[in-house]
Amino acid sequence: MDILTMLKQLGGGMLVTVEIFFLTLILSLPLGLFISFARMKKNCFVQGGAKLYIGVMRGTPLMLQLIVVYFAPYYLFGMRINHYRFLAVILAFSLNYAAYFAEIYRSGIESMPIGQYEAAKVLGYNKVQTFVRIILPQVIKRILPSVTNEIITLVKDTSLAFVISITEMFTTAKQIEAAQTTILPLMMAGVFYFIFNFIVAGVMEYLEKKLGYYK
Amino acid sequence: MNLLEMNHIKKSFEGGLEVIKDISLCVKEGEVVSIIGPSGSGKSTLLRCAAMLEKIDSGELIYLGQKVAWNDSHFKSVYMSSSDKKKIEKYYGFVFQNFHLFPHFNVLKNVIDAPERVLKLPKKEAEKKGLALLEQLGLSDKKDAYPYQLSGGQQQRVSIARALAMDPKILFFDEPTSALDPELTGEVQKVIQSLAKERMTMIIVTHEMQFARKISDRIIFMERGKIQAEGTPEVIFGTGNERIREFIGRLQNE
Ligand SMILES: Nc1ncnc2c1ncn2[C@@H]1O[C@H](COP(=O)(O)OP(=O)(O)OP(=O)(O)O)[C@@H](O)[C@H]1O
Ligand SMILES: [Mg+2]
């Protein structure tokens, strides 16, 4: 097999990897915000629930979570869902990353000086306006470096999807490697992840610069 | 009618320390009232209770005859609904010791965002008003600057403009010049003085005795959570009360 054919086959996997990456981000970033709200609630059931959720998601291997999410509908409810494989990957990744993002949001929100809330309150802003206009923009600036770390980890974690045989980049590379007995496709996959993360880091750096207009 | 009325206010913090012990205070339209007193006497807490940044435990809070908080049968304060409180919040502005400007907004945006979002003024109108205020406070050339690019005195003037943009009926100042270098206090005091000339109703907590003497219609001396004395600057500065004489004397000699 020549390199071009290999690249073509890897290309399909690449697309799946990119899809997993973006869908996970789009779902886990807002979900994480809601979990962080629950985590900061005074009500001890809500707070306790959020704590337990975050604890389990961060305290068990993502690979195991993937397997559980994939097999749970069948073993628990006897359900067979069409095309569930991909959905399971997105679900497991989103649920897992939301827990990490929740803690990042919380650290950012709790680091905001109380004076910002008080200034907004005496100006008559309601709770939603205060959060959306005053607090959140500043929180985003504060947490951007930690978010960048998580996102870079996510790029690499997408390869874990191979445990439930999703044909993303890494799975495809493994398959070619096994069939052709050459580690070249794995090297190529490595280069792909590296370039992907290079782009991600560049975008995040650009965002950080954009938000650097104030201190 | 009194613009602000506080009757038999009591306030404790967790731990049981009673910080405000039965204080009553009325402010008429156009009046300038200064609150002085030693550190920890409860001046900020009283001001924050008036601005609903702290909840009072007991007593009445009344704005323009409307009861915002009143006593139930056990002498515990109950407040009006939060939607009614939002309307009351429009009556007053608050100027903090540390400004608390919004760092991600430029100067003009700091001033006009609340009028736009809270009062729902059209953008053009809010901008016109904001620019006029900045002009009045000598900040026209700073309208596009961000708070971190300004001196403390400029930041405090922006925060005064921000409060004024909401057309408050009364302004609260909690030590507006305490966070400033001595050479910058003058510019902020001048602004407050010109507001006093325009008969803006104000309550000012301050440690600057000469300033309080110059601008106040009435000075309140607070100690240990109580109003110990109150009167015109002449009365307070000419008092025979040893404790007050000593307090004023000490601050003036600093
Ligand atoms: N949020 C709070 N929780 C607990 N105690 C508080 C709180 N705020 C103020 N106190 C206490 O209440 C007392 C009065 O505080 P306050 O800030 O009103 O005094 P002050 O007269 O403004 O003093 P200063 O001149 O130093 O500003 C102090 O003993 C203070 O420690
Ligand atoms: Mg104080």
pLDDT of res. A38: 97
B251 Cβ under 8 Å from any chain A Cβ: no
Closest Cα partner for B107 from B165, B68, B188, B59?
B165
**B39 ligand 1 Cβ < 6 A:** yes
B148 Cβ under 8 Å from any chain A Cβ: yes
pLDDT-derived band at B253 (thresholds 50, 70, 90) equals low
- DSSP run (H or E) holding A130: none
Q: Report CB contact under 8 Å: B104, A141.
A: yes
Smallest Cβ distance to A122: which of B53, B146, B148?
Answer: B53
Give long-range contacts, CB 8 A cutoff, 24+ apart: A150-157: A150/A97, A150/A100, A150/A101, A150/A104, A151/A25, A151/A200, A151/A204, A152/A197, A152/A200, A152/A201, A154/A21, A154/A24, A154/A25, A154/A93, A154/A97, A155/A21, A155/A193, A155/A196, A155/A197, A155/A200, A156/A193, A156/A197, A157/A62, A157/A93
Average pLDDT over chain B, rounded to an integer: 95
Q: Which ligand is nearest to the CA of B40?
A: 1
The answer to whether B69 and B5 have CB atoms below 8 angstroms apart is: no
What are A28's two structure tokens?
Answer: 């886990």
Average pLDDT over chain A, rounded to an integer: 93
The answer to whether B202 and B196 have CB atoms below 8 angstroms apart is: yes
Report the distance separating Cα A90 and Cα A84, nearest Å: 10
Q: pLDDT tens-digit profile of A53-100?
A: 999 999 999 999 999 999 988 888 888 887 888 999 999 999 999 999
Helix A136-157 and helix A3-40: axis angle, to 10°? Answer: 140
Q: pLDDT tens-digit profile of B20-77?
A: 999 999 999 999 999 999 999 999 999 999 999 999 999 999 999 999 999 999 999 9
Chains A, B: CB pairs < 8 Å: 60
Instruction: Between B239 and B118, name the one with better pLDDT.
Output: B118
pTM surpassing 0.90?
yes
pLDDT-derived band at A115 (thresholds 50, 70, 90) equals very high
By percentage, how much of chain B surpasses pLDDT 70?
99
* Distant-in-sequence, close-in-space partners of A126: CB < 8 Å, separation ≥ 6: B86
Residue B61 pairs in a beta bridge with: B6, B69
Chain B residue numbers touching A129 (CB-CB < 8 A): 117-118
| ipTM score of complex | 0.95
Give the strand order in the sheet containing B226-231.
B92-95, B170-174, B201-205, B32-36, B218-223, B226-231
How far A149 CA sits from the closest chain B CA (Å)?
24
By percentage, how much of chain A surpasses pLDDT 90?
72
pLDDT of A27 > 70? The answer is yes
Ranges of H-type helices in B104-241: 107-117, 123-136, 152-164, 182-197, 209-215, 233-237
Smallest Cβ distance to B148: which of A125, A126, A215?
Answer: A215
How far A106 CA sits from the closest chain B CA (Å)?
20
